[in-house]
Amino acid sequence: MHSDVVVVGAGVIGAACAHALSVAGVRVTVLDRGAPASATTASGEGNVLVSDKAPGPELDLAMASRLRWPSLIASLREDLGAGAEIEWEAKGGLVVATTEAAAQPLLDFAAAQRAVGVEACAVPAERARDFEPHLTPSVTAAVHYPQDAQLQPVLAACALLAAVRKRGGTVRSGVAVSGVDTDAAGRVRAVRTSDGEVACGAVINACGPWSGAFSTAAGAPIAILPRRGIVLVTAALPATIRHKVYDADYVGAVASGDADLQTSSVVESTPAGPVLIGSSRQRVGFTDHLEVAVLRELARKAVALFPILAEVPVMRAYGGFRPYAPDHLPVIGPDPRVPGLWHATGHEGAGIGLAAATGRLMAELLTGAQPHLDPAPFRVDRPALMEAA
- Which DSSP category does 194 fall into? B
So what's the pLDDT on residue 252?
57
> In the chain, what are the domains?
5-80+152-224+327-388 (3.50.50.60), 93-146+225-324 (3.30.9.10)
- Does residue 258 have a pLDDT over 90? no
Per-residue pLDDT reduced to its tens digit, 333-357: 999 999 999 999 999 999 999 999 9
Residue 249's beta-bridge partner residues? none
Q: Residues 268-297: what's their mean pLDDT?
A: 90
Q: How confident is the model at residue 83 (pLDDT cuts 50, 70, 90)?
A: confident
Q: What is the distance between the alpha carbons of residues 366 and 343, in angstroms, rounded to a whole number?
A: 11
Q: What is the distance between the alpha carbons of residues 77 and 73, in angstroms, rounded to a whole number?
A: 6
- Which DSSP category does 329 fall into? -
Instruction: Provide the whole-model pTM.
Output: 0.96
Q: What is the distance between the alpha carbons of residues 340 and 224, in angstroms, rounded to a whole number?
A: 20
- Which DSSP category does 83 fall into? G
For the chain, the C-alpha Rg in angstroms (whole number) is 21
Q: What is the distance between the alpha carbons of residues 243 and 89, in angstroms, rounded to a whole number?
A: 10
Q: What is the distance between the alpha carbons of residues 112 and 154, in angstroms, rounded to a whole number?
A: 33
Q: What is the distance between the alpha carbons of residues 359 and 22, in angstroms, rounded to a whole number?
A: 11
